[in-house]
Structure 1
Amino acid sequence: MVTMAQSPPSAERLRMIDGFLVEAWADLVRHDERLRPLSVEVRFDRGVAHLSGEVSDAGQLRLVRDVVGRLAGVYGVWCRVAVGGRAPVVVDLGCGGTKQWPGNLGLDIYPAPGVDAVADLSGSLPLADDSVDVFFAVHIMEHLIDFLPLFDECHRALRPGGVLHVMSPWWRHVNAVADPTHVRLLDVQTFKGICGQRPPGTPRWYPLHVGCDGASIFADLTPLGPDDPPPPAYHLARFFD
C-alpha cells in the first residue's frame, strides 16, 4: 500500500497561521507577567518564530523560547537576542551570499560576497571553544555524507545555552531528491538519535523544538554538558515517536 506524503501548507494558509500566531503571542504577553517586561520582539514567518531584542539574563531568553515553541503552528524558534547587554555571536554555516541576519559571521567552503571565512564544514570549524551563541545550518546537512562531525564541532564552539538551528528538506518532499547535490535524507526522527541515542562520551544535545511543515524539517538544539542529565522521555515524546 502506498502512503501519501504530508502536503506542505499553502502560502495562503501559512499567512493565516502567522496571523493567528501574532494574536496568540500578544494574548500570552498580556496575561503572563513574566513576559510583559521583556524587550523581545517576536515575528512569525511561515511558522518560524524570529526573536530579536534584549533580555537581562539567559533564563529570560530560555523562557521566551519555551513559551513561543509551545504555540500550535510553530515549526522553529530562531533567535538573535542580546543577553545582559552583550550582542550574540551568530554564525551562518554554508551561507553563500545569503545570511539569516545581516551582521552574522558567514562560513562557507567557497569564497563569495558575504562569506567572512572559508571553511570546509566537514572538518574543523575555525572557531574557538565556547565562542558562539547561535549557529544557523539552513539547507546544509543534506549536502554532507556524514554530518555528525559538524554537529560535534557546533557543540564544541557553542557557549552553554547556545542554540544550533537546523533547516533541511523533509525526506518525503520532492525538494529532498530534486537537487543532485543532496546526499542525505533527513526526518524529524533523525534528531531523536542525535539527542538521545548517541554512544557514551559523544557530545549530546537537548531538543528545544523540532518540527516539520511537510516540506522542511526544523530543529533547535542546545548543547548538554558531560554531567547534564539526558532529556527526559516526556520531553522527547513532544517531538519524536
Structure 2
Amino acid sequence: MVALSQSPPSAERLRAVDGFLAEAWVEQVAYDARLRDLGVQVRFDRGVAHLTGEAVDAGQLRLVRELVGRLAGVYGVWGRVGVAGRAPVVVDLGCGGTKQYPGNLGLDIFPAPGVDAVADLSGSLPLADDSVDVLFAVHILEHLIDFLPLVDECHRVLRPGGVLHVMSPWWGHVNAVADPTHVRLLDVQTIKGICLQRPPGSPRWYPLHAGCDGASIFADLTPLAPDADPPSPTHLARFFS
C-alpha cells in the first residue's frame, strides 16, 4: 500500500519506467521458451501494460498476464487479446466519449459519441451471463455510493477467466476529493475487501494484480467459482497489507 506522503511519479519518470519495462519484457521473451512465437504484443504506458494481438489458447494468455504482472513497476495489465481465433468481447463501463480500445462496447448512463448502449450502472447490466471477456471500470466506482452491486454484475457477465480492470483515484491524492461528483474514496485495501471480506454467498474474486501509483489505484480481478480455492496468503502478500 502506498504511504500517504508518497507523491505520484512524474511524467518523465513514468516514461523512463516504461522504457525499462519494455526492455525487461524483450529479455523475458528472449529467454523464456514458453513465449517463443508469441502473437501477443505488449506495450507499456505510464506503468500500465497493454496486451493486444492473439494468444493460441487461454493458457498462453494467462501466462503472459502473469509474467507481465510480475515486472517491477507495473500497476495494471490491461488488454484486448483474441484467443484461438475468437475476437474478445470487451466492454467499457461509463465510457463517455472515450474507450480504452477502439472496438470496445461502450456503456454509459448518458448518450454520447462512442456510447453503444445507454445503461444505469447502478442497476443491472444489459449483458447476458458469461458473455464478456474483459470489462473496464475506469473512473467509475468512485461515482457510485454503493458500487458492490455493479461489481456483482461484472462477476455475472464475465466468462470464466475473464477480467475486470479497475482504475480509480487513490483516497490520499487531491484528485479523489477535487471532483464533487466523487462520492466514494478507494484504496488498494478496498480491493482486498472486495475479494476477501464479502458475506458468504457473495460473488468471489481472485486478484490478478493490484497497485497504486500515488494518484490512482489499479486492480485486475477475475471471477472465482463458488467451489474454487481462495487465493493463497503468498499471492495476497504481493498486493495487500
TM-score (norm 2): 0.98
The equivalent of 2:192 in structure 1 is 192
Which residue does the alignment assign to 2:90?
90
Cα contact 2:96–2:114 (8 A) shared by 1: yes
Structure 2 counterpart SS, 1:80: strand
| Structure 2 counterparts to residues 154-165 of structure 1, below 5 A | 154-165=154-165
Deviations, residues 78-123 of structure 1 (Å, cap 9, x unaligned): 0110001000000000000000011100000001111000000000
Moved more, 154-163 or 35-44: 35-44
**Are the counterparts in 1 of residues 94 and 107 from structure 2 also a CA contact under 8 Å?**
yes
Partner residue, 2:128: 128
Contact 1:212 1:218 in 2 (8 A): yes
Contact 1:196 1:231 in 2 (8 A): no
The answer for the alignment partner of 1:57 in structure 2 is: 57
1:5 Cα offset (Å): 2.4
- 2:168 and 2:35 mapped to 1: Cα distance? 31
Tell me if the contact between 2:69 and 2:76 (Cα under 8 Å) persists in the aligned partners.
yes
Hey, what does 2:39 align to over in structure 1?
A: 39
Q: How does 1:1-241 map to 2 (within 5 A)?
A: 5-241=5-241
> Considering only aligned residues, what root-mean-square deviation do their CA atoms show, in Å?
0.8
Is this contact kept in 2: 1:5–1:173, CA < 8 A? no
2:227 corresponds to which letter in structure 1? D
Q: Secondary structure at the match of 1:38?
A: coil
Q: Deviations over 1:55-92 (max 9, x none)?
A: 11111000000000000000000011000100000000
Q: Which amino acid aligns with 2:14?
A: L
**Structure 1 spans left out of the alignment, 5+ residues:** none
Q: Aligned AA for 1:35?
A: L
Letter in 1 for 2:30: R
Amino acid at match of 1:31: Y
Shift in Å at residue 4 of structure 1?
Answer: 5.0
Shift of 1:198: 1.1
1:5-29 deviation digits (Å, cap 9, x = unpaired): 2100000000000000000000000
For 1:179-200, what per-residue CA distance to the aligned partner results, in whole angstroms no more than 9, with x for missing partners?
A: 0000000000001111112111
Question: In structure 2, what residue type is equivalent to 1:11?
Answer: A
Gap runs ≥5 in structure 2: none
In structure 2, how many angstroms separate the alpha carbons of the residues matched to 1:47 and 1:85? Answer: 29
8 Å CA contact 1:206–1:222 kept in 2: the answer is yes
1:213 and 1:174, CA in 2 relative to 1: closer, same or farther beyond 3 A? same
- Give the ranges of 4+ consecutive aligned residues of structure 1 lying more than 4 Å apart after TM superposition: none
Letter of the aligned partner of 1:221 in structure 2? L
Q: Identity over aligned residues, as a percent?
A: 83
TM-superposed CA distance for 1:173, in Å, is 0.3
Distance 1:88 1:98 in 2: 19
Q: Secondary structure at the match of 2:155?
A: helix
SS at match of 2:194: helix
Distance in 2 between the 1:58 and 1:195 partners? 23
- Hey, what's the Cα distance between the residues in 2 that align with 1:212 and 1:84? 33
CA distance in 2, matches of 1:159, 1:38: 23
CA deviations over 1:187-232 (Å, ceiling 9, x no partner) = 0000111111211111000000001000000000000011111111
